[in-house]
Each structure stands twice: as structure tokens, then as C-alpha cells.
Amino acid sequence: MSDISPKTIEPFVGPIENDSDEPLKVEITNNPTVKVSEKRSFTTSQVFIQTTDPAAIVQANPNRHSLVILNTGTITVYLMNNRFGNPSTGFPLVAGASITMEHQDAVFGLAPNATGANNAILAIYTDNRK
């Protein structure tokens, strides 16, 4: 049988990763779980993607933790890291697919095959640090 008597734990010395200006709340419970929380919010939006001019799906945001992009349209959208990107080097997001990204840079999209009947609409969920 293992010893389950109380043990003295040495104090933690060192930084805890935190990209936010807000202090982290750290809770150590009786079980070996450490809970870290930070203030967050989220936003949702939709973007219609054009055929010739790359659309800004999201602007750069240093407070963004992650984002999910869902292609709710009927054709492939090519994701790029700048407005001057080329769909041939973009990331293809097929109709019905989604991608989760953890970065703060802007994301652009282009749908070269979009027409009135074949629309390209992206639903965006953004998780922001406060």
C-alpha cells in the first residue's frame, strides 16, 4: 500500500508563461492538478470571400489566443498570410472544412472560383485574451 500521508512541497520558484498583462490565478488542489486561468472573451463573425481581391478574414491582433475558421460556403477558399498572396501558394480550405490557428497575425482569403451560385462564406470564432 502506498503512503498517502501529507507531504511538504517545496515552493515553486520560476516564471509561469503568460502573454497577458493580467496576473494568472494559480490554484493547487489536493489532487495533482494545477488550474491556471486568465481572462478571455470570444467573438464570432462571417466574411464573404471575393474572387479577385483577397479579403481580410481577421486583422492582426496581439490579444488573440486562437481562431477557428469554418468554410460554410460551397467552394474552396485559399488562406494566405498577406493581401498580395497567390491562391496557388495559399492553404486550401474546402467547403465544410475548418482550421484552428494559434497566432496573432492577419489572415486573408481568396476564392478564385466564386460565382453567384458558388459562394464562399467563412464563419470565424476568435478567442481573445482580455
Q: Is residue 113 part of a domain?
A: yes
Number of domains comprising the chain:
1
**Helix/strand/coil for 87:** helix
Between residues 30 and 118, the one the model is more confident about: 118
**Do β-strands 40-48 and 121-129 pair in parallel, antiparallel, or remain unpaired?**
antiparallel
Q: Does 49 reside within a domain?
A: yes
pLDDT level of residue 79 (50, 70, 90 thresholds): very high
> Which three three-digit cell numbers place residue 34?
494545477
pLDDT band, residue 41 (cuts 50/70/90): confident
Look at residue 28 and tell me if it is in a domain: no
For the chain, the 3-state helix, strand and coil shares in percent, each to the nearest 5, are 0, 40, 55
Domain assignment present for 119: yes
Residue 111 lies in a domain: yes
The sign one gets for the Cα dihedral 54, 77, 98, 92 is negative
Predicted TM-score (pTM) of this structure: 0.65
Residue 11 covered by a domain: no
DSSP 8-state secondary structure symbol assigned to residue 31: S
Residue 64 lies in a domain: yes
Q: Ramachandran region of residue 106, left (φ > 0), alpha (ψ -120 to 50) or beta? A: beta
Domain, as residue range, for 51: 40-129
Domain-embedded: residue 66: yes
87: domain CATH number? 2.60.120.770
